[in-house]
Amino acid sequence: MSANRTLSVPYLARVEGEGAMHVRIKDGRVENVEVRIFEPPRFFEAFLRGRMFLEAPDITARICGICPVAYQMSAVHALEAALGIQVDGPLRDLRRLLYCGEWIESHALHVYMLHAPDFLGYPSVVHMAADHPQLVNDALALKRTGNQIMTVVGGREIHPINVKVGGFYHTPTKAELDTLVAPLERALETAVATARFAATLTFPELTLHHELIALRHPDDYPMNEGRLVSDRGLDISAQQYQEHFAEEHAAHSNALHSHHKGTETYLVGPLARMALNRDRLTPLARRTADEIGLETPCRNPFRSNLVRAVELVLACEEALRLIRGYREPREAAVAVAARKGIGWAMTEAPRGMLYHRYCLDDHGLIEDANIVPPTSQNLRAMEADLRAFVTAHLHLDDAELTLRCEQAIRNYDPCISCATHFLKLDVARS
Amino acid sequence: MALAQQKPKLARKPKLAVWKFSSCDGCQLSLLDCEDALLTVAGAVEISNFPEASREVGKGPYDISLVEGSITTPHDAERVHDVRRQSKYLVTIGACATAGGIQALRNFASVKDFASRVYARPEVLSVLGKSTAISDHVAVDFELHGCPVSKHQLIEVLRAFLQDARPDIPSYSVCMECKRRGSVCVMVARGMACLGPVTHAGCGALCPSYHRGCFACFGPAETANTAALARHLAATGVAADDLLRAFRTYHAAAEPFRRESENHER
């Protein structure tokens, strides 16, 4: 094998958005690793300025077609904090239910359609369907169930229309939610089967040493609420986020890289969430995690699919619990009046913590917005993983090593559309 | 399912390609969201180029190209011509590809506005000053509206092009769908502002059925009388700034909405 090699993937497949990978090996050592983000910037934070607060959940949903609910949830919680209102009871439960729908849809998409083909040796899920029809049917059934939840609660699966600052535009009846019970019961079984299937895969060895960061809530596995904690003692509120984290711009990337001041690299997403919240799992999810031998903490990013599978079980169980306990609220939303204020919120998108901050003027117009998506927080960790993995696997030939590197990137389920939403300047005028 | 019944005229399956420009990925995700129909589609066509779903890249030419996203960089303004050259039919999917998308809000900002928003290293960015629709650059065979597109309409478009038929996609307004659905008019009964009368059908009149006025995520209907609607809304107390924003969001660069929003500039 030559001591000087270049591994290059000009267009990463089976990720959301447009990115490339470039690894340069010189004299038998990894000289440079870049995950290049060439997805064009879309400047959301710039054009949120001057918009009415009520528009923010729908506008920010358009940052990402894969996790619009995450944007809507972080937006409404941050805006409600700015406006001094609290949403509780059945409305709070409906929001968690909606988030369960997105987790199920997004995790099923990733586990089966984006990531599993790597482990089973296929270029895509369609190719995989010929040999593994049951797996693909399971994937589609799970995804459909997640989408059904989003359709009933949110109106549609991509860019739901029913999320409002203060609650919802219209709340579902008990009978409407009950239609989800039977599909969810089947989905729960499928999710357990998914975890068992994921446990049969062979995982490359890699141990990551990033700081693990996720929300933590007193009672629940975190989705919409909680403080930001880490395995190294971080414990802060959303309001304190910007004191502890900063974003910087790397020349090779159209996405800002986020870093936690004082630490080398950190990780958000399923691995971190599970490591910090295993004791908050629902009963069957906990049993499933034990049964498949998921270690705590799991520090091999290739095993993140096991974690997603356990979170699929959790999301199905939670959705069933929320539906069974649902009482139709009297009002679809808490009354909201415009006022001046600043609000912050963090929620757990399927890919990890998503931070929103808004400043509002007296009329409820947005003066300033700041959004930090999970993928831009994970970019540094992703590059560090690639470096570590390539260093340990220099004996592999270029094709194999390149494939494994792509897989290492897909471990993060990166959402490049999200990561490039926010560059704020637009210069080259045609 | 109609797709499965179609008799292939070609010895080989038609080749489908999916391309992405500046977008949120939601419209191409609609294809994966077709779930049961997805495998039917996969049986009826050869999915030749779909990076979000597959590592395999089939060579062109392609029989049908679905194009998501708007043109916002010099590189993409070139790349879209390659896509056109390789495609027998080119269909744009969604608001970005069809009208420039929400990122076309930049088209209304001045350089001065941006100057205060300088970020760390602007010199390494390569972006155009305007976000434009695919049809501003190349000939387009069909434009499917929606932010996001309706997956049922997406399947209908594929069916039609596979059968050399015209897609059955109505171009009337959301009001027609609302009446057909039997929803009570939110503007008449509840006094809500609703853009349904000027908005392209396709969503099934979703928002009014959730007690919310339409916010035009399917863009302008074919014969949208935006001025009449704006006059009515103004008479019911909607302020000029609110009218401006209503017409300038998800389809800010679509001609009827662009013109109407400019009527409410101060």
For A120-136, how does the pLDDT look when each residue is reduced to its tens digit (9 = 90+)?
988 888 888 889 989 88
Nearest-by-Cβ selection for B129 from A59, A129, A429: A429
Q: How far is B227 from chain A (nearest CA, A)?
A: 22
**What is the band of B110 on the pLDDT scale with cuts at 50, 70, 90?**
low
CA distance A394 to chain B (A): 23
Report helix, strand or coil for B43.
helix
Three-state DSSP class for B76? helix
Average pLDDT over residues B11-40: 88
B47/A124 CB distance under 8 A: yes
- pLDDT level of residue B116 (50, 70, 90 thresholds): very low
Q: Which residues of A touch B119 (CB under 8 A)?
A: 249, 256, 423-425
Task: Report yes or no for ipTM above 0.90.
Answer: yes
* Partner-chain contact A430 B129, CB within 8 Å: yes
Do B199 and B218 meet the contact criterion of CB atoms below 8 Å apart? yes
A148 touches chain B (CB under 8 A): no
A417 in a domain, yes or no? no
Residues A115, A194: Cα–Cα separation, whole Å: 13
Question: How close B33 gets to chain A, by Cα (Å)?
Answer: 8
Q: Which domains can be identified in chain B, with CATH numbers?
A: 2-162 (3.40.50.700), 174-263 (no CATH)
Q: Which of A40, A127, A140 minimises the CB distance to B35? A: A140
Contacts of B144 in chain A (CB under 8 A): none
The whole-model pTM stands at 0.94
CA dist., res. A289 & res. A195, Å (int): 8
**Which CB contacts under 8 angstroms, 24+ apart, belong to B148-152?**
B148/A65, B148/A156, B148/A158, B148/A159, B148/B26, B148/B27, B148/B29, B148/B30, B148/B94, B149/B27, B149/B30, B149/B93, B149/B94, B149/B202, B150/B30, B150/B202, B150/B203, B150/B204, B151/B30, B151/B31, B151/B33, B151/B34, B151/B37
- For A84-97, give one letter per residue: b (16+ CB within 10 A) or e: ebebeebbbbbbbb
- Is pLDDT of B11 > 80? no
Decide if pLDDT at A34 tops 80.
yes
| Between B96 and B112, the higher pLDDT residue | B96
Q: pLDDT tens digits for A84-124?
A: 999 999 999 999 999 999 999 999 999 998 888 888 988 88
Tokens 């939670």 locate to A318
Write out chain A residues lying below 8 Å of B26, CB-based: 62, 64-66, 68, 158-159
B87-106 residues touching A, CB cutoff 8 A = 101-103, 105-106
Whether A268 is in a domain gets the answer yes
Match 């989705």 to its residue by tokens: A223
- Mutation target vs A (from B16, B24, B29, B244; most A CBs, 10 A cutoff): B24
A173 found inside a domain:
yes
Here the tokens at position A212 are 């693990």
Distance CA A153, CA A319 (A): 12
In a domain, A74, yes or no: yes
Cα–Cα dist A207/A408, whole Å:
12
Contact check, Cβ <8 Å, A14/B217: no
Which residue, among B178, B110, B211, B42, has the nearest Cα to A123 in the 3D structure? Answer: B42
Give bridge partners of residue B173 from the DSSP assignment.
Answer: B200
| 8 A C-beta contact, residue A63 and residue A49 | no
Q: Are strands A167-168 and A163-164 parallel, antiparallel or unpaired?
A: antiparallel
From B126, which residue of chain A is nearest by alpha-carbon distance?
A: A428
| Residue B111 pLDDT class (50, 70, 90 cuts) | very low
Are B111 and A170 a contacting pair at CB < 8 A?
Answer: no
**What does the alpha-carbon distance between residue B65 and residue B91 come to, in Å, rounded to a whole number?**
6
Give the tens place of pLDDT for each residue, B212-241: 999 999 999 999 999 999 999 999 999 999
Q: Which domain holds residue A388?
A: 44-395
CATH of the domain at A362: 1.10.645.10
* Number of independent structural domains in chain A: 1
Cα separation of B245 and B229, whole Å?
Answer: 14
